[in-house]
Structure formats: C-alpha cells, structure tokens
Structure 1
C-alpha cells in the first residue's frame, strides 16, 4: 500500500499535486521502487516536516482533538445557541472495536474528582478483598488521573510512543508509564535463582525464556547436579534440567542465599527452588527486602510459615507466584468455565487420587542407622537451614528429603497444589471447616519422622455464596481408592476412576448433580465430562485447548513464569500469587497434621489459626527454628 498525503495544501493546487503524483507512480514499476527513488533523490515536495512526521506516528489524529478541548470545556461554548455552536470547530474521532461494545458503558462524564466512569470503566463497588481487585482500582485511578492531567505535549509524547509500540510492540519507553507505579513492558527484570537443581533449575530457565535476566545463582551443593530427567507420562512428558556449571556464565554464584541478598542490590526478584523446609526463610528474607518471589510448591512446610509469607507479601506489595504451573494452562481455565457454566450441575464431592505413597515407614526409619560422611561439595549446615540439626544421610539429599516430615511435605504436599488447584479455583473452596485422616499401619508414636505408606483424608468445605457445601477426598498410596464407577453412577455409564485400573494414576473426579468430570494432574489436563453425551452437548464443535508453550520449548509452561514476570513490572497480580497459593498450600499442611492424629476429626478455625476441639494438634502448626534463624 502506498499513501500520499495532500493535507495542508490549498484547494487550488491539490488537483495538480494529485495529477503529478499519479503520473510519477505509474511511471514506476511499484511502490517499493518509487519509495527507493524518492529516498535517493528527494524532491522538495516530499521532504518530511515535523507535522508530517508526527502525523505518520499517529499524533496528527490527536492534535485537532486537543485543539478542540477548550471549545468543549468552556462555559462560553456550552452557553451558545445551537446555531452559534455550528461555527465552532468540528472534529471527529473514530474508534473501531471488531467484537462490538455497549457504548454507554465506556463513557466518562465530568472532570477532576467528580469524574464518573461508565460501567466497564468503573472499579468494583464492593470493598476490595483481593490483590487483583486492588490492582484493578489502581489502574482505574491511574487512567482517571492521567485524563485530568493530560496536556498537548504529554499527548504528543505518549501517542508517538504508543504508535511506535504498534510497530515494535515490546519496546515501550519508561515515560509512557512513569508516575503510574508500573514498569515498561520492555524493561528487564533481574532475577536470582536460589536452589538450582531439579525444578529450581527449570524455573530459572523458564523465567529467562519469559524475558528475565538471570543475574545470580545460589546453591548449597556445588557438586555435580542430577542428570536431566523426564516428568510425566510419555505423551506429555517434560524435560527437567538442573543448572550446570557452564550455564548462565554471566551470573554471579553464591552458596549462602543471605550473602546473595546482601551483595546483589540490583536484583528485582528471587526464585526459590530449595527443599520445603527452607522455602519460608528464604522467601521471607527476599520479601522483606522488597524483592518479588516465585516459590516452588508447596509454599512452605507449616501452616504458620504459609500464613506469615502470605501476609508479608501482601504488606510489602511484591509480586508473587506459587510454582503450580498448571494454573496457567489453558485447559485449567477451560475446566473452570465448564464448572461455572453448570455443565455438571452443582458439585458436592471431589475425589483426588495419587497411586503412589510414602513407602514402608518401618524400613525407611531403619535405614537411618547407617552413618554417612557429608559430601565435600555440600554445606550441610546451610542445607539444614532452620530445621533442627540431624546427621547427613543420602536419604535426605539430594532427592529423598520430601518423604521426611522435618524437611518435606510428603506426597500430599507434592501433588495437592497440582491436583486440587483446578477445583479450588473453580469452586472457590478457601478453608475447610474440618479434616479427618485414615492411615492403615501408621503409628504416629513410632513413625512420626515419615509419612504414611497410604492415606485417605476428608476435607469439609462450607457453602459459599450460591455454592453448596463440598466434600473433598484425598487418596494416596496403594491402600485407599475412590469409589468404583458403578457406585458413583448407578451402573448407567463407566467412569475412568483416578487411582483405579483404567483411570489416570494421578487425577481428580468431580461429582456433580448432572454428571461427572475426570481430569489428570497439572492444570486439569485431558478433562472430560461424563456421560459422553453431555461432553458432546457442552463442547459442540469447539476444539479442546492445549497447554501453551510447553512442547515447543521443553519447559514446564513458561507462561506461568511470564505471568509472574509481568506482575513484577507492576501489572495485574499473577494468577497463583500467595493470596491464592497460600490457602491452597494450607490444605496440604492441614492434611499432614491430620495424619499425625488418624481417626480424629479436627475442627479448623481459619481466623484464629487453631483447632478448637483438639488443642493438642496446635503444636503441629509450626516448630521451633534453630538458633540464628527466624521469620
């Protein structure tokens, strides 16, 4: 396309210019050659003026509007008769929205503090209860203040910058968002990774892919990292690669995270990929310095730690994200929409199952009698962190710590944040009112150092809004399974029960009044409505949504990390920020407490953070840190 502007010439010479221009264009073979010739030997009439340059950048459309502002706003103009107003300058501005809008909802009336925003521009009327709502109100105030302060020069600068952004969408100058508390989308977030093996290494790589710069790395073990390994079933497996010595050569290296935080003043954010027992200490130290935090799941090991981190992040107003990457999968949103649309009616039961468990507790504890030397590459004291001292054993490090209560959160802490996340979101479950656990062959007096071989946990959630009460069942190991298909459907149709033969090894069954939904771990993968006729009725001809950005990069969904990086720049909070991920993780911590008191129904007071019917259970809400460590 070739465009020739004749605006600004007199009416008498416009036809001549048009004829001359047509002749020149036809004399050339195409617009490209014509443009090249003009650039090589510019004619005076084609030399670019300041106004022409601004017009090309989109500013000229705004200048007449700016010139008309005094006319619109003046009392003299508004007091004129209709005939007199015809003499005022007339301007036109056109907005095109392909999907259509209700125009009345997008108007603003008045000025200054009395400005009234239309329905689509107005923040929620209710008192803000979440970080997302606060961010929405903040953005609306920024827009309103910007409208009230706008000047001709400011409009020219901003319009020119945004016109440039259409051509270079990732390059937006700082002044476009200056004063708003936001950072330019093109600015780089400098990230430090603490804990670079396993998932920590993968989070670091994914954050770099999402646009962050990895400025520093920290790990207590300088030895050879585990080899890359595949996670998940063959069809959906993901390659997880720890960080090696040759990776990120420009990043500063540390062994103690406290030294990193002290010396690396310019980092903006921290990724915590260490064992569960050090999550809280590291994340809290970063938050108190005003650093944004991405923390692997579970958020922390104890209820007290989780609650303190959630509160601190809210007070410091830092961007946070829990490492349950399935929350950012498109399939997870698709599942939530199915629940919200009433595709299976009101939900009253949820069954989440993991086919493997904690192993034989007697055999695991017996192995602790073996003595082992601390590897020379490992700082064992730093690895222990706030946990009480214990001699080194290879069953703890490098990979077995998750199965020991002092360091990990068991199968429940490992997978609940993945499996339960979609229903926690869709049903807005929040905190349970009671928890009770079963654990065959598990004696807390003997086996308290480890988790049960197999467990069944029942959570009761009260009604909330229009949602009815919900019962959530958790099963892990080989001794407990969800009910069979015939019991759930009355034999009318077959269900692939999670944890049972024919069903996913890790999965969730959602029981509704009109049907069932079964999905796999991590973001409600492969969710499906049963009976099949209801699935066809709901989906119609729509295609299923796949996980974004996974197979193409070999990473565990960099979109989850990109969501966090975007929040680090001051934009909308990440989807699984600590206000959401904290209460989700508390479910795992509460369930682990229940397994220490099997058969006892624990009533949970979420506000007081206590078990009023069994105060002896409160001792498990936290533990005493070693000297020199605190939150």
Structure 2
C-alpha cells in the first residue's frame, strides 16, 4: 500500500475543513449536562479494562464502541447494548463527532497517535493508553495539539494515582535521601523477539479485519501467533518492547518525583537489530540534565528481559533480602529508596540497614492495597476533569515527555552499545542515522 505523511493522512481522513476552537463549547455543554459521552477504540484485554473503569463512573454514558475484532466487539456490546458499534475508528469519529465528548484509545501502540490525533482534531478529550505513541514525533504532535486546543488529556498509567507511588514522590521531594545521582529500574518481562521474521502467511481469522488492525503500519501478511492477539508488543512495527510496556509504569514515579526532562545521552546494551523484533534483553543507560532534586546530572539505568536486573552493589538489600520482581532504586547523598512495582510501600535504606519513615506527616491516610479501587482513580480523575471537577495528573504535557524518553531508549536498541546524543530543542540526534526512526511513514489504508 502507498505510504503517506502524517499530515496527508489527516487530510485524507476528511478533517481539513474542521475549524478550531470547538473544544471549550463542547466541553461546556458536557459540563452543563453533567454527563460525559464516551467512545472507545480498542476492546481487547486492556481495552476492556479501560471500558470497565471509565464506565464505572456514575456520570459516564458509553455511546460508541470500536474494534477490528468482531469477537471483542461483541463482548463489549453485550455489556453496553445501547452503544453503537464500529470496526473503523475513522468512520465512528466522523459520524459521531457531534454525539461524543471524550475518546478512549486502547489499541496497540502503532494506532495510538493516528486515532488520538484524529479525535483531538475533532476537539474531543482523550484518554490514551501507554506508551502515548509509537514514534517521538507523534508524542510531540499530541502534546502540541492538546495545548493548542486546550483539551483534557490523560495517559493510561493507572499506578500514577496509586498510594505507594504518591508516597514515594513525596519522600524523594522531601529530601529523605538527599539529591539523587542514580536511578536503577528493572523488569524481567520479555516483550522482545530474537528470532527471524516469519515467512509465508496464514488465513486471516474470520473475526479480524487485518487491514484495519495494521492501520497506518506497513502492510505484511497475517501470521498466526505473531501479532494479534497479544504478541504485537514484541514487533517493531506495532509495539515498543518491554521498555514501552513496563518501562512507562516503572519510570513514571522517579521521572515525576525528580521533575526530569528528556535525556541528553542514551546507550542500549543489547543484541544487533534484526529489523523485525525488539531485543529480548536490554540494558539502557540514560544521562539526564540535573534538577533541584538531583545531582548536576542524573544517571538512569534500565534492565529488562529474563534475569533482569544485572547484579550491582546499588541493588543489594539488607539481610540478604531478594529484590522485588520489578521496581526502581533511587541512590542519593544520604541513602537509598527502594520502590517495588507495585502496591508495596517504598523502603528507606541507610548504611546498609532499613530505616523507619514518618509517612503520617504526608497526610495520605492509611496505605491502600486494593488494585480495583486504586486503578479506577486514574480513570475517574479523567472523567471528573472533563466535567470540570478535577485536574488530570498525567496529561499529555507530562506523558509526552515521559514517552519521548522511553522511545529514545527503544531507538537506541537499533544502535547497540553506541551512545546517542539527543538535542531536545532541535528534536534530533547528533548521530544522523538515528533520526530516521523518530518518525514513520503512514500507510494509506
């Protein structure tokens, strides 16, 4: 299929005639009515969880459901029988632009930006799953669009609103371990694939529209077990690997607590690229400019894949304790703070021993360890913000920068063991060969 630029994609979607400035009027109408009308794009595993959480808010009306998989669509329709159903999100958004207030995007990563930007062009408030985008250029475009149109936005990083992550942010910003010079974060999950690209093709399941599933990505034959459902995170054309999946969650609190911007340098220790799947093991080292909570510069090391993290004295725990399966360790002037992922309280370590902390002074109440109630807070915050009753804690102004940081590490995986130098103002690498991966051609579909 023909490749087209992002700008041309939106022209072809019939959006060039739309004017600006509608958002305040539409959201004012939603606030006047006291209810939020939502449309949901993507109804797979995470999409159903998003639908459940958003619709659990008493002031939400689910107006439309969209998925390229008829089986997923049927399950969602059974829960919301009054909602209109669609296979193509472009058709849904164009037909219902006057009947919806907010759009929830829960698709594979490569469709996040195309669907979200189209909704934003139509002045819809957007909740988009993490990572915000598949390409750095898309993250910047979504941030710019949200600011230009004054839209309510939220990235789907539910743990951002969890008790233990809020507490860790307050502890770090209180100076409990002094200025932080290093963060080490890890996940042993493996959303990589070191094997060869598949050959041949398999029949497309009758319930799947394979053309629409691929969307703007390059066209390829369907192969059972490689893409849909579930395995797309491993593949460069569709996902962002383990870093883009778990990294967004685990980076979020340190990134937020230390008030970081995007990094200056990135190096990924991994296997040579295959052009198809992400490496199964990555060690990504970032260097960030300093902030008021850090040393002059901050070193950040990410480990993923089987066996992660690599052994290091920074990660040794008192009493020979084992590290949590996933998490982050802050190293500061006065000690270390361990933040497990997730729903475990952070732990202060000074001189090789655990130390008690006064957490009551932060007025967060008693620790909460109920996932169902905690996770809905992030979704309900978005709904309430749309209705003028709250503010989002992970808007695109924040989550686009976090996503950019993650994606720079993903790109570094194409240049193993080579330090890449990032110029944030110019949005370019000093290493020219890396710049081709900041954007992607959109297929006309």
After TM superposition, the score normalised by the length of structure 1 is 0.62
The answer to which structure, 1 or 2, has the higher relative contact order (CA under 8 A, 6+ apart) is: 2
8 Å CA contact retained: 1:292, 1:318: yes
Q: Secondary structure, in 3 states, of the residue corresponding to 2:328? A: strand
* CA displacement at 1:561 relative to structure 2: 0.8
Partner of 2:223: 393
* 1:261 partnered with 2:78: no
Change (3 A) 1:467 1:356: closer
Change (3 A) 1:488 1:550: closer
Partner of 1:546: 367
Partner of 1:278: 111
8 Å CA contact retained: 2:31, 2:386: no
* CA displacement at 1:588 relative to structure 2: 1.4
Partner of 1:437: 268
* CA displacement at 1:254 relative to structure 2: 0.7
More strand by share: 2
* CA displacement at 1:244 relative to structure 2: 3.6
Partner of 1:406: 237
Change (3 A) 1:424 1:186: farther
8 Å CA contact retained: 2:428, 2:435: yes
Partner of 1:514: 334
Task: Say what the alpha-carbon RMSD is for the aligned residues.
Answer: 2.7
1:616 to 404, 417, 433: 433
8 Å CA contact retained: 2:193, 2:235: no
Partner of 1:558: 376
8 Å CA contact retained: 1:610, 1:618: yes
Partner of 2:17: none
2:285 to 447, 455, 458: 458
* CA displacement at 1:247 relative to structure 2: 1.1
* CA displacement at 1:182 relative to structure 2: 8.8
Q: Secondary structure, in 3 states, of the residue corresponding to 2:428? A: coil
8 Å CA contact retained: 2:187, 2:308: no
How many residues get paired? 416
* CA displacement at 1:443 relative to structure 2: 1.8
8 Å CA contact retained: 1:353, 1:482: no
* 1:381 partnered with 2:211: yes
In 2, Cα distance between equivalents of 1:360 and 1:187: 47
Change (3 A) 1:182 1:340: farther
1:517-570 deviations in whole A, cap 9, x for unaligned?
112225x74222124976414347999743487345xxx611101111122124
Change (3 A) 1:495 1:526: farther
* CA displacement at 1:431 relative to structure 2: 0.7
* 1:536 partnered with 2:356: yes
* CA displacement at 1:351 relative to structure 2: 0.6
Partner of 1:472: 300
* 1:252 partnered with 2:84: yes
Change (3 A) 1:390 1:360: closer
Q: Secondary structure, in 3 states, of the residue corresponding to 1:580? A: helix
2:41 to 175, 186, 194: 194
1:583 to 375, 395, 401: 401
In 1, Cα distance between equivalents of 2:188 and 2:376: 28
8 Å CA contact retained: 1:548, 1:557: no
Q: Secondary structure, in 3 states, of the residue corresponding to 1:357? A: coil
8 Å CA contact retained: 1:297, 1:322: yes
* CA displacement at 1:246 relative to structure 2: 1.3
Q: Which residues of 2 match residues 257-406 of structure 1 at below 5 A? A: 257-264=89-96, 265-359=98-192, 361-362=194-195, 365=196, 368-394=198-224, 395-406=226-237
In 1, Cα distance between equivalents of 2:317 and 2:281: 31
8 Å CA contact retained: 2:108, 2:238: yes
Q: Which has the larger radius of gyration?
A: 1
2:387 to 548, 565, 569: 569
* CA displacement at 1:359 relative to structure 2: 4.9
Partner of 1:526: 345
Q: Secondary structure, in 3 states, of the residue corresponding to 1:448? A: coil
1:604 to 422, 432, 441: 422
Change (3 A) 1:549 1:212: farther
8 Å CA contact retained: 2:269, 2:417: yes
The answer for unaligned runs of 5 or more in structure 1 is: 1-177, 226-241, 497-501
Greater shift in the superposed pair: 373-382 or 466-475: 466-475
Change (3 A) 1:591 1:243: farther
After TM superposition, the score normalised by the length of structure 2 is 0.87
In 2, Cα distance between equivalents of 1:492 and 1:410: 28
Change (3 A) 1:330 1:358: closer
Q: Secondary structure, in 3 states, of the residue corresponding to 1:405? A: coil
* CA displacement at 1:328 relative to structure 2: 1.0
